[in-house]
Structure 1
Amino acid sequence: MRSFFLKKGVNLSVKTYGVTALSYMALGLFASLIIGLIIQTIGQQFGIAFFENMGALAISLMGPAIGVAVAYGLQAPPLVVFSAVATGAAGAELGGPAGAFIAALVSVELGKLISKETRLDIIVTPLVTIIAGYGTAQLLGPGIQAFMTGFGDLIVWATERQPLIMGILVAGLMGLALTAPISSAAIAIILDLNGIAAGAATVGCAAQMVGFAASSFRENKFSGLAALGIGTSMLQVPNVVRRPLILIPPTVAGMVVAPFSTMVFMMENNAAGAGMGTSGLVGQIMTFQTMGFSFEVLGAVLLLHVVAPALISLGLSEWMRKRNWIRMGDMKIREG
């Protein structure tokens, strides 16, 4: 059985489903929901109906995008990939983003097992894949959606009542998730984080990116500043594995700034921006969409998402360098 699974490319592991599949789900989310929200926001702000309609269409195709992304990430055969359009759509309709992910995951793995095992592959493979996905969506979708939404609501509720403690926790954990090889964006959307909890998550994620960019500037120069600051802090994962201490400056920066976000500036965001940090400036664009465009909000965003995390991370990393806890080259981004 195990050899058959391996031959079909089905690897039952936490890494495969919790890291690889979830990361590709995030790409599907970005290529549909998140970019759709950005396009729709541009249309709304400038009164361009074409952009509004285009954005709304992209948002509506979140489920199929997740299905295809998961299938592609799990290296499914073509018929399974194309069938995942339907299973992702079914999962999204019945269980939201989490439902789309689970329905796609189950259907893709079962589709891979049956693929090219019969002479009627062109019929059997998509049939099995779609039945498996739709059945999973019907059976598990509503429950998964209710649980994830309820858990997200609990986090939002707790953050509103304990903004100091929960703000620190949300910022710290979501920031670590962003740098880890999992998807903080997917987590935020699955949990439907919003309000000041989403604002704290944005601060924590932004601190990881901006913090690493600032504290590693001497090693990575301007190319690293851009790659880490508006790309992704996951570029530092190999260095974190070798030297975990480098996580301390950006993580502490996010946790220090978070209470100012939740208690002083009352920063808010939506689920699409909560887990993005400064990646493509999505976290900031969604903050403006949530809180409105004003100089006050712009100033708060610059202070809490960029300036404060950069200064705190840089200062703490320099202090750690003087004690040889961080050495020259520990945060060097290595090509390949």
Structure 2
Amino acid sequence: MKITSKIFTLNILNGLSLGIVVALIPSALLGQLMLLFGKNSLALRVIDMTSLAQSLLPAVAAIAVATLFHFNTIKTASIALAAMIGSGVAIPTPKGFVLHGTGDIINTGLTIAIAVGLLILIGERLGQFTMLVAPALILVVAGALGLLILPSVQEISEIIGLGVNQITQWQPIVMGAVMAVIFSILVVSPISSVGIATAIGLAGIGAGAANVGIVVTSFTLAIMGARVNPLGGTLAHFIGSPKIQMANMMRNPKLFIPTTLGAAIMGAIAAMLDIKGTPFSAGFGFSGLIGPITAYQATAQSAGMVSKVLLVFVILPLLLAIGLNYIFSQRGTLIAPTDLKLPNN
């Protein structure tokens, strides 16, 4: 099959999306649950395992991309090696390498794209020497290029972070609506919503609005695609991350219309209800219940806080998502369920 630029781009984005969800779901499902067991050794071990899974995101994403390109085992492993290097997830220290976070997701995607492009360019020219040459070649060339562009790519996130930080000075309700929209876009892009929130120290009402923007985006995309996606894929939107729809969002920009509208409404409501968050929770949304739990803890003294949290993180986003699905997909024809079909379903 001839690989066009469109197929190439979609395979990279789809594989990256799947890799992100696979690597992050263990922590989303088990992370907060294990915290309930305090210092229990088994619970701490599970937390360690889920943290390691997150740091292996570049390799997992590379495997997912390679699968979509139908590469063999050697080529797949070679891309995974390059992705781990180019992502910046492994930081060299005097005592060896230390894995930190998930690495830069944008740079992970670019490194994988370089590696895939090289393998397509080489084709079968290596013949019987593929096993000897391909791993070293892809590691050194794609991995090195990834490291070379990493500082410039990280600057993009820093610039975005500075811009987002300025919005926190606006009037609360307007700020809440805009912040929710920004994070609803970030969460389905290659840029890390958690990384941006942490980098700028986003807290208080701004963090709460960011959270609910992600939540309503998760529910909206899940419900709109529920007819063409399996139950597990539907639940993965908010239990894991709506970033699983990244490729579809890039291919069909019209999908941003309902999510942006829903995020603006929920962000304003969250600000009016004084829903708060922390730099750590702001980019997670519903995933792992981090957003709702943090919102409750941030204002636990307020009367009726449990009801507020349920209203803002479950009831209103769900009702709004159902309404948006009715307007744009059932009643209207702007969006078809197939626009949100996940790969490999």
When normalised by structure 2's length, the TM-score is: 0.67
Over 3 Å counting, the alpha-carbon distance change for 1:248 and 1:228 in structure 2 is farther
CA positional deviation for 1:193: 3.1
SS at match of 2:263: helix
Is 2:102 aligned against 1:87? no
Query: Aligned residue for 2:64?
Result: 69
Over 3 Å counting, the alpha-carbon distance change for 1:69 and 1:292 in structure 2 is farther
Query: Aligned residue for 2:120?
Result: 112
Query: Aligned residue for 1:128?
Result: 137
Is 2:158 aligned against 1:167? no
- The amino acid of 1:104's aligned partner reads I
Q: Percent of aligned positions with the same letter in both sequences?
A: 19
In structure 2, C-alpha distance between the alignment counterparts of 1:133 and 1:225, rounded to whole Å:
35
Query: Aligned residue for 1:285?
Result: 289
Relative contact order, CA 8 A, sep 6+: which one is greater? 2
Is 2:188 aligned against 1:184? yes
CA positional deviation for 1:158: 2.4
Select the residue among 252, 258, 263 that pairs with 2:267. Answer: 258
| Farther-moved stretch of structure 1 (64-73 vs 264-273) | 264-273
CA positional deviation for 1:157: 0.8
When normalised by structure 1's length, the TM-score is: 0.69
Select the residue among 106, 109, 117 that pairs with 1:98. Answer: 106
In structure 2, C-alpha distance between the alignment counterparts of 1:247 and 1:139, rounded to whole Å:
33
SS at match of 1:161: coil
CA positional deviation for 1:165: 3.6
Select the residue among 135, 142, 150 that pairs with 2:151. Answer: 142
Is 2:47 aligned against 1:52? yes
Query: Aligned residue for 2:14?
Result: 23
CA positional deviation for 1:287: 1.4
CA positional deviation for 1:145: 1.9
Deviations 1:121-180 (A, max 9, x none): 2222222211222211221112212322x03422441232124444323433554x59xx
CA positional deviation for 1:185: 6.2
In structure 2, C-alpha distance between the alignment counterparts of 1:297 and 1:69, rounded to whole Å:
41
Is 2:235 aligned against 1:230? yes
- The amino acid of 1:157's aligned partner reads N
- The amino acid of 2:124's aligned partner reads K
Give the unaligned 5+ runs of structure 1. Answer: 1-5
In structure 1, C-alpha distance between the alignment counterparts of 2:278 and 2:214, rounded to whole Å:
13
Over 3 Å counting, the alpha-carbon distance change for 1:312 and 1:122 in structure 2 is closer
CA positional deviation for 1:63: 2.6
Over 3 Å counting, the alpha-carbon distance change for 1:208 and 1:62 in structure 2 is closer
| Farther-moved stretch of structure 1 (191-200 vs 58-67) | 191-200
In structure 2, C-alpha distance between the alignment counterparts of 1:254 and 1:136, rounded to whole Å:
37
Over 3 Å counting, the alpha-carbon distance change for 1:250 and 1:20 in structure 2 is same
Over 3 Å counting, the alpha-carbon distance change for 1:189 and 1:114 in structure 2 is farther
Over 3 Å counting, the alpha-carbon distance change for 1:103 and 1:293 in structure 2 is same
Residues 88, 100 of structure 1: 8 Å contact kept: yes
Residues 211, 281 of structure 2: 8 Å contact kept: no
In structure 2, C-alpha distance between the alignment counterparts of 1:261 and 1:34, rounded to whole Å:
26
- The amino acid of 2:289's aligned partner reads I
Deviations 1:73-103 (A, max 9, x none): 4443432211122111112226633222221
Select the residue among 291, 295, 309 that pairs with 1:301. Answer: 309
Give the unaligned 5+ runs of structure 2. Answer: 90-102
CA positional deviation for 1:110: 0.6
Query: Aligned residue for 1:3?
Result: none
Deviations 1:25-50 (A, max 9, x none): 12212222453354343333313222
In structure 2, C-alpha distance between the alignment counterparts of 1:81 and 1:161, rounded to whole Å:
47
Deviations 1:288-325 (A, max 9, x none): 5655758676544321222223445666787x69xxx9
In structure 2, C-alpha distance between the alignment counterparts of 1:326 and 1:49, rounded to whole Å:
46
Over 3 Å counting, the alpha-carbon distance change for 1:200 and 1:291 in structure 2 is closer
In structure 2, C-alpha distance between the alignment counterparts of 1:317 and 1:88, rounded to whole Å:
37
In structure 2, C-alpha distance between the alignment counterparts of 1:128 and 1:55, rounded to whole Å:
31
Is 2:23 aligned against 1:32? yes
SS at match of 2:277: coil
Residues 281, 291 of structure 2: 8 Å contact kept: no
